[in-house]
Amino acid sequence: MARSISNLAAVPPSSDMKALVEKQRAYFETRVTLPLQWRRERLLALQRAAHKYEAEILSALKADLSKSPEEAYLTEVGNIYGELKTALKNVKAWMEPRRGSAPLIIQPARAYQYADPLGVTLIISPWNYPYQLSMAPLIGALAAGCTAVLKPSELSPATSGVLKRMLGEAFPEEVVSVVEGGVEASQALLAERWDLIFFTGGTQVGRVVAEAAARHLTPTVLELGGKSPCIVDRSADLEVTARRIAWGKYVNAGQTCVAPDYVLIPPELKGRFIDLVQKAVRSFYGADVSTSGDYGRIVSPRHYERIAALAADGQIAFGGERDAPSRYFAPTVITDAPLSSPLMQEEIFGPLLPLVDCPSIDDAIRFVRARPKPLALYSFARDAAVNERVLTETSSGGAVANDVCVHFAVEGLPFGGVGESGIGGYHGQASFDAFSHKKSVVKRPFTLDMKLRYPPYGGKLGLLKRFL
């Protein structure tokens, strides 16, 4: 899908895609999606479908990414049950107009913010967490009163197939429809006019999506990626730090948008840190990681070859074992990678953890600030003042002190990027907000029509200064 907008513009219209969009738009225009009852019924239908197809989803995630049922539930299925529960509990309150204040010059008046559903939406989801990253935005769309077309990744075909059956059974296609296929299907969908495009994926393709959306001035939510750093201070509990970083890095074989991408660490701590990461890996996956049922595989041969090429950019401190036919790549720590190398320039999205010598927190903050803003940032220190410095003096989509990745699971916090790591956020109420237009509304009576605002204005400056 990563091609220029000129090529996208040249894609001939697809009659099937156009008919699907028109069918959803005609349904949305009936305004049947506006009431609370419609939204709750759709969310309940999605909840029933999620429970009914749970076993099939777990099997599909095993087939696509070799995820164990436990990891799949921890990182995908359980999150969706939580999001559904939150939406069902709170959608009524989210729909209520939010009061604002009106200035004296227009009194008497009442000011509100209405949440209008944006309309017919397109959700493009990725392959690395193919269930969770499809369902979470869909929950927001239905809670907000929108219809949705979901385009799952062709690189996770088992999960995509289950989603098509599951959602096809739960909803008519004018409410929710799943479109499978590869690049051509994505191009055809992006050629249509949408009321919102919600895309999760890499920054390069995110630019293509943004260009395509700009042709129709379509708003976008772009959940992208980047190189998420870990900063380790001398005051950190190094064993806990290594264990938490190792978990976040190697879960899903490193194919996580908020995975630690590299570690900035004082040189004298590096050797012990490597030993402790290796110890953690053994405790997670055993002496031979390739035989662990809890360690995943790289999604495709192309991505396997990409990771193998990145691994050549530095010295392997431990790990590096691999098997191309099974797409197994062991948890790996790398040192001495040149900062100009692809390993240190590109998002890794695999089980490679580069370490960078960084003598001080000042050096670490300068290092992070000199690079594009990451999707996530992790700071490890017993000294709370050090963590606070890192959190306030750097910019990232999200951040965690003394752990990794866990902010993604907090439904009360919006999740998203900043700069090249993304635009917009979702989860909980933020998902509802992402699929809604915040319409400003002022209500006034016909009485008490203050003459101060009408011409002629001669001699009114003093009064205007008092009322404005």
> Model confidence over 351-395: pLDDT tens digits?
999 999 999 999 999 999 999 999 999 999 999 999 999 999 999
Take residue 401 and report the two structure tokens written for it: 């002190």
Distances (CA, A) of 351 to 206, 259, 268, 327: 23, 9, 24, 12
Per the domain annotation, does 116 fall within a domain?
yes
Q: Are 243 and 205 in a shared domain? A: no
> Could you tell me the residue range of the domain that residue 354 belongs to?
229-413
Mean pLDDT (whole number) for 152-181:
97
Q: What percent of the chain shows pLDDT beyond 90?
A: 91
In this prediction the pTM is: 0.94
pLDDT at 460 over 70: yes
Q: Are 403 and 343 in a shared domain? A: yes
Q: How far apart are CA 161 and CA 56, in angstroms?
A: 10
The residues that bridge with 150 in the sheet, in sequence order, are 123, 178
Per the domain annotation, does 111 fall within a domain?
yes
Query: What integer best gives the mean pLDDT of the chain?
Result: 95
Mean pLDDT (whole number) for 428-457:
94
Q: Are 251 and 158 in a shared domain? A: no
Q: Are 126 and 91 in a shared domain? A: yes
pLDDT at 403 over 70: yes
Q: Which of 94-108, 296-310, 328-342 has the lowest mean pLDDT?
A: 94-108
Per the domain annotation, does 46 fall within a domain?
yes
Is 358 an active-site residue? Answer: no
Task: Show the beta-strand stretches assigned E in 107-239.
Answer: 110-117, 120-124, 147-151, 176-178, 196-200, 220-223, 229-232
Per the domain annotation, does 51 fall within a domain?
yes
Mean pLDDT (whole number) for 172-188:
95
Structurally, the chain folds into a number of domains equal to 2
- Band (464; pLDDT cuts 50, 70, 90): confident
Q: Are 287 and 207 in a shared domain? A: no
pLDDT at 313 over 50: yes
- Band (13; pLDDT cuts 50, 70, 90): low
Q: Are 178 and 55 in a shared domain? A: yes
- Band (105; pLDDT cuts 50, 70, 90): confident
Q: Are 294 and 359 in a shared domain? A: yes
> Model confidence over 106-135: pLDDT tens digits?
899 999 999 999 999 999 999 999 999 999
Q: What percent of the chain shows pLDDT beyond 70?
A: 97
Per the domain annotation, does 428 fall within a domain?
yes
Q: Are 289 and 324 in a shared domain? A: yes
Per the domain annotation, does 456 fall within a domain?
no
Question: What CATH number corresponds to the domain at position 162?
Answer: 3.40.605.10
Is 257 an active-site residue? Answer: yes
CA dihedral angle for residue 180, residue 183, residue 187, residue 190, rounded to 10 degrees: 60
Q: 396, 413, 430: which is the final residue of a domain?
A: 413
Mean pLDDT (whole number) for 167-186:
96
Give the chain's largest Cα–Cα span.
87
Residue spans of alpha helices (H) in 231-333: 238-250, 270-285, 301-310
Q: Which of 275, 241, 50, 205 is nearest to 142 (CA)?
A: 50
Per the domain annotation, does 447 fall within a domain?
no
Question: What CATH number corresponds to the domain at position 354?
Answer: 3.40.309.10
Q: Give me the catalytic one of 146, 230, 257, 405.
A: 257
Grouping H, G, I as helix, E, B as strand and the rest as coil, residue 397 is coil
Q: Are 135 and 154 in a shared domain? A: yes
Residues listed for the chain: 468
> Model confidence over 320-339: pLDDT tens digits?
999 999 999 999 999 999 99
pLDDT for the residue numbered 100? 94
Q: Are 138 and 255 in a shared domain? A: no
pLDDT for the residue numbered 366? 98
pLDDT at 12 over 70: no
pLDDT at 78 over 60: yes
- Band (10; pLDDT cuts 50, 70, 90): very low
Per the domain annotation, does 348 fall within a domain?
yes
Q: Give me the catalytic one of 83, 223, 411, 420.
A: 223
pLDDT for the residue numbered 216? 95
pLDDT at 4 over 50: no
Q: How far apart are CA 407 and CA 426, in angstroms?
A: 12
Q: Are 140 and 194 in a shared domain? A: yes
Q: Are 47 and 195 in a shared domain? A: yes
> Model confidence over 188-237: pLDDT tens digits?
999 999 999 999 999 999 999 999 999 999 999 999 999 999 999 999 99
